[in-house]
Amino acid sequence: MSRDNDQPDSDAAAGFVGEEEVGEPVTAKQNLIAAIIIGAIAVLAMVLAVRLEVPGRLVAAPGLLPFVVGFSLLLMAVALGVLAVRAGGAKDLLGGLGGAGEWLRDEERRRTALLLGIVVAYVVLVDMVPFEWRLPLGIFELRFSGYELFSVAALTLILWIFWRRPVFPHCLGVSLATVMALAVVYRYGFRTLLPGLG
């Protein structure tokens, strides 16, 4: 048996295998639609972030982090939109928007639409339902605000939807650890107010 005959098998075995198999490639039209939706969400997040009150210095503004995240999303959406237009995605845009029902028949597309809805609901809830709980612990005061509550809820739901074999306690644990770590770093490390009266 020669090495040449064995080479293709070894290359195939060493090749990258994705976590999920996608039935069909994403078209330029779909990329353009996604860019428009993501861009709209990014602009909404930036507008809501700017509306938050700035109690002191700009670096301590509660809307600084959401604004930076929204601006980053906007840049990515613009880049995706430009690439999609260059690939001819604008030609069938109207037809793609008109066939939204057919577009949502695919499971991955439904999950993407659900993700966008969760993000919009999260931004609105953090802005519209602000609260903060304070628990004195001697020399340390533990604070829990709407940012932590809604962030944990949104992230847990997103992980539950997109993980291959989701286990709710695992999703909740990862969400709690991630959100609380970020809150501790920004609130006590950088002395930055978080959204939701954080």
Q: Could you tell me the sign of the dihedral formed by the alpha carbons of 103, 28, 112, 120, in that order?
A: negative
For residue 179 the two structure tokens come to 């959100």
pLDDT at residue 123, as a whole number:
82
pLDDT exceeds 60 at position 40? yes
pLDDT exceeds 80 at position 190? no
- Phi/psi for 112 (5° steps) reads -65, -45
Tell me the average pLDDT across 14-38: 66
Instruction: Please name the residue that has the structure tokens 């507008």.
Output: 47
Question: How far is 137 from 139, CA to CA, in rounded Å?
Answer: 6
Question: How far is 120 from 70, CA to CA, in rounded Å?
Answer: 12
Tell me the average pLDDT across 27-32: 78
What residues pair up with 143 in beta bridges, in sequence order?
Answer: 134
Enumerate the domain spans of the chain: 26-189
pLDDT exceeds 80 at position 135? no
Question: Residue 12's pLDDT band (boundaries 50, 70, 90)?
Answer: very low
pLDDT at residue 16, as a whole number:
40
Nearest to 111 by CA among 29, 176, 166: 166
Map residue 89 onto helix, strand or coil. Answer: coil
pLDDT at residue 96, as a whole number:
53
Question: Residue 183's pLDDT band (boundaries 50, 70, 90)?
Answer: confident
CB atoms within 10 A of CB 39: 18
Question: How far is 123 from 108, CA to CA, in rounded Å?
Answer: 23
% of the chain at pLDDT higher than 70 = 71
CA atoms in the 13 A half-sphere facing the CB of 125:
16
Question: How far is 154 from 173, CA to CA, in rounded Å?
Answer: 13
Most confident of 53-62, 99-108, 149-158, 159-168: 149-158
What residues pair up with 145 in beta bridges, in sequence order?
Answer: 132
pLDDT exceeds 50 at position 145? yes
pLDDT at residue 97, as a whole number:
52
Question: Which residues, 6 or more positions from 17, have their beta carbon under 8 angstroms from its beta carbon?
Answer: none
Q: Could you tell me the sign of the dihedral formed by the alpha carbons of 48, 50, 56, 62, in that order?
A: positive
Most confident of 8-22, 27-41, 148-162: 148-162
Instruction: Please name the residue that has the structure tokens 């533990």.
Output: 142
Residue-wise pLDDT tens digits, 91-118: 666 555 555 556 566 677 777 778 888 8
pLDDT at residue 169, as a whole number:
86
Lowest mean pLDDT segment, chosen from 13-22, 25-34, 136-145, 181-190: 13-22
Question: How far is 51 from 74, CA to CA, in rounded Å?
Answer: 18
